[in-house]
Amino acid sequence: MTAAEISTLALEVLALKKSYGDVKAVNGLDLQVPTGQCFGLLGPNGAGKTTTIEICEGLNTPDSGTVRVLGRTWDRDADWLRQRLGIQLQETQLAEKLSVLETLQLFRSFYVSGRTIDDVLDLVQMGEKRAARVGTLSGGQKQRLALACALVGDPQLLFLDEPTTGLDPQSRRQLWTLVEGLKREGRTILLTTHYMDEAERLCDDIAIVDHGTVIARGSPRTLIASLGADHVIRLGVADGAHPVAIADLLTIADVTSGRQTLTGYELRVSSVQAVLPSLLAMADTRGIQWSELSTHSATLEDVFVALTGRELRDG
Amino acid sequence: MRIASLRQLTLARFREFIREPEAVFWTFVFPLLLAGGLAIAFRDKAPEQAIVAIVAPADGDSVAMQTAAALTAAASGTNAPLRVRQIASDSVDDVLRTGTVSLVVVPQAGGGVEYRYDDARPEARAARQVTDDVLQRARGRRDVVPVREVTISERGSRYIDFFVPGLLGMNIMGSSIWSLAFAIVTQRNKKLLKRLAATPMSRLEYLLSFVLSRLVFLGLELAVLLGFGALVLDVPIRGSIGTLVLVAFVGAAAFGAIGLLLSSRSRTVEGVSGLTNFVMLPMWIFSGVFFSSANFPAVIQPVVQALPLTALVNGLRAIMLQGAGLDVVWPQLMLLGAYLVVSLAVALRIFRWQ
């Protein structure tokens, strides 16, 4: 890697390891986040995303491995770094008795330079709530205030740890719009999520994390393309029995790969139109009753399933 | 150090406190209730009367009847030193056991009397003295030394005068330690500390803001308690207000720092409660809030005198009651200052931010 390339990395993590007792939370994880990118760490709960991001934020120390943030290290430049990072933790309860405005004034006072509070309030659409006590805010509003606290120092690099976990669908979409706005400003963002739709919508590049290591990396489009299949067909069988061997299903033309699930089968196919007639014909000849037949365009979720044999939400 | 963030942190502390009405209530009202209650208990009143009973003399026992008459005569009038009543001989144990009288006089055959009382009770010993004088004089004893008595009830030597500075010190200790310990442990529990630790906030400023916010409230507490003491209880402040305020401020800062130290590791309010009680309890007992710390044996005096509350209470008392100045109370100030600096330094080192 040339010097020019290194300098364009906002974050570089090499061979990161962190254990808690016998549990290897992070186990040899590598990351490169170019400046200006919105980068996603996607993985199930317990994959090591939060430990990784907290090490990058300087809140946790690794057992081994290197972390360079904005080209610097936490050992030597902690104060310099803290002035330049914006951080939203997975769960922070801000002081309930303070108002939105007072909370932002407090956080703004820690930074040598930054945005004006009005500016940040507009950005997160909380201008009308400026006088409200934090304790009276809804979950989505609290999360937007937490984002505002992360933005008030005008950070070069923004860390968002599970920014929409626990929010209702409307609040999630509202937060996504905000993050998209930040992307347009050209900010570098590292976000963790276990929602594949969130990663797909917001991230330029994604690292899929499982058991403390990166198991796949690329843009959402590349990762989905790596399945070699644009669609997924789900088949359900009535009584949980599996009347066909998965190997037989995989012989059907245009079926790229597949697996047996608890309730039936899941097939990754390049063309739904080509595969469906064969499936129906097979049902006819063997007297199988499909209790469910659904198709969808392949998603990151399917990528995760193909890589691990488990579903994201299984954890 | 940036003044802006220290100011914002202190303001945040201040706002969080005043928006918690219960905390405000107990900080200001509790000490007033306590002082008021004690003022009623120890108000100026006439010297205690000894309460005495005599076993009713049998008919025809003329000597016993004279004894009873002498006591009754002494008990008449507005400033009588004793009150007397007659009881049946079988209720002697009863009245002594219930403490309704301090002394029972039992006339004996041959003209003598027997006193029954609990000599561990000061009022019983006093009753014996008064009763004996009355009876001996009635039978003709003459006092040989001429005596003139001058009684005093001087402002500044009453129990309430002794107690108000102690109460002030105890309140400074309690409110400083409690409010800080709870606030910090709650913030740690809610991960707010972790969030703050992720900002460029100076950690020293964070800790200092707690001490400073204590000082703001101390101003109010001091005004309320001293005002109540001076106006309602007529407690004197003989030294300079400036010195008094200085000692109180240094004391509050020292206890604030001790509060920080106590809450530097705990993750739960329950945990920190145990720890603060463990630290405060010995001071409630040994530091001379309710009675002079000089009552404790010489062996433990070095420990007693090294307690921060002892220093604070002794300092406040010396200033208020004896009019002491800085030339007298500087050792107490130095000791409190040392607690402040050492506690703050250790707290900063061992503080758990997550």
B190/A153 touch (CB, cutoff 8 Å), yes or no: no
Cα A103 from Cα A133, distance rounded (Å): 9
For A4, residues 6+ apart whose C-beta sits below 8 A from its C-beta are none
Instruction: Tell me the nearest-neighbour CA distance from A99 into chain B, angstroms.
Output: 10
* Contact predicate B103/B53, CB 8 Å: yes
Interface test with B, best of A110, A134, A147 (most B CBs within 10 A): A110
Closest chain B C-alpha to A67 CA, distance in angstroms: 16
Whether the pLDDT of residue B172 is over 80: the answer is: yes
Query: What is the predicted pLDDT for the residue at A1?
Result: 46
The residue-averaged pLDDT of B66-95 equals 85
CA distance B190 to chain A (A): 5
pLDDT digits (tens, 9 = 90+) for A70-120: 999 999 999 999 999 999 998 888 999 999 999 999 999 999 999 999 999
What is the overall mean pLDDT for chain A? 88
B 169-198 → A contacts, CB under 8 A: 187, 190-192, 194-195, 197-198
A contacts of B12 (beta carbons < 8 Å): 95, 98, 102, 106
Residues B123-134 have pLDDT tens digits of 889 889 989 988
Identify the band that residue B264 occupies on the pLDDT scale cut at 50, 70 and 90.
Answer: very high
A311 phi, psi to nearest 5 deg: -95, 150
Please check the confidence at residue B2 and state whether its pLDDT lies above 70. no
Interface confidence, given as ipTM, is 0.83
User: Is pLDDT above 60 for A30?
Assistant: yes
* Distance, CA of A27 to CA of A161 (rounded, Å): 19
Percent of chain A with pLDDT over 70: 96
Q: Which of B199, B205, B209, B210 to mutate against chain A (most A CBs within 10 Å)?
A: B199
pLDDT over 50 at A175, yes or no: yes
**B window 92-151, beta carbon within 8 A of A:** none
**Of A239 and A254, the one with more pLDDT:** A254
Structure tokens belonging to residue A38: 């919105």
Q: How confident is the model at residue B152 (pLDDT cuts 50, 70, 90)?
A: low
Mean predicted confidence (pLDDT) in B72-96: 85
- DSSP state for residue A133 in the 8-state scheme: B
Q: Which pair of structure tokens corresponds to residue B66?
A: 């004279």
pLDDT at A66 over 90: yes
Which chain A residues contact residue B4 at CB under 8 A? Answer: 109
Q: What is the pLDDT of residues B236-248, one digit of tens each?
A: 889 999 999 999 9
pTM of the model: 0.77
Lowest mean pLDDT among A261-265, B74-78, B312-316: B74-78
CB of A161 within 8 Å of a chain B CB? The answer is: no
Evaluate whether A30 touches A14 at the Cβ level (below 8 Å): yes
Give the strand pairing for A38-42 and A188-193. Answer: parallel
The mean-pLDDT minimum among A214-228, B74-88, B129-143, B322-336 falls in B74-88
Measured in whole angstroms, the distance separating CA B292 from the mean position of its chain's CA atoms is 9
Give B173-191 pLDDT, tens digit per residue: 988 898 888 889 999 988 8
Quickly state the pLDDT bin for A4 (edges 50, 70, 90).
very low
Name which of A134-138, B58-62, B262-266 the model is least confident about: B58-62
Q: Which residue intervals of B19-121 are DSSP H helices?
A: 21-41, 62-74, 92-98
Please tell me if residue A221 touches chain B, with a CB cutoff of 8 Å: no
pLDDT band per the 50, 70, 90 thresholds, residue B37: confident
Query: CB of A140 within 8 Å of any CB in chain B?
Result: no
Q: Which residue of B has its CA nearest to A83?
A: B200
Average pLDDT over residues A224-239: 83
Q: How confident is the model at residue A37 (pLDDT cuts 50, 70, 90)?
A: very high
The whole-angstrom separation of Cα A287 and Cα B274 is 72
The predicted pLDDT at position B153 comes to 63
Residues of B whose CB is below 8 A from A82? 198-200
Q: Percentage of chain B surpassing pLDDT 90?
A: 34
Beta bridge partners of B103: B52
Mean pLDDT of A289-297: 86
User: Is B2 in the A-facing interface, judged by CB distances under 8 Å?
Assistant: yes
Structure tokens at A93: 């309860």
- The residue type at A45: N
Q: In angstroms, rounded to a whole number, what is the distance separating the alpha carbons of residues A181 and B27? A: 48
Nearest to A14 by CA among A213, A266, A308, A255: A213
Measure the CA–CA gap between B254 and B242, rounded to whole angstroms.
18
- A140 contacts A174 by C-beta, under 8 angstroms: yes
* Residue B217 and residue B255 in contact, taking contact as beta carbons nearer than 8 Å: no
- Amino acid symbol at B101: V
B187/A59 Cβ within 8 A: no
CB atoms within 10 A of CB A168: 12
Contact B190/A106, CB-based, under 8 Å? no
Question: Identity (one letter) of the amino acid at B243?
Answer: T
**E strand segments, B196-314:** none
pLDDT at A248: 84
In the predicted structure, residue A315 carries a pLDDT above the cut 60: no
CA B14 to chain A, closest CA, distance in angstroms equals: 10
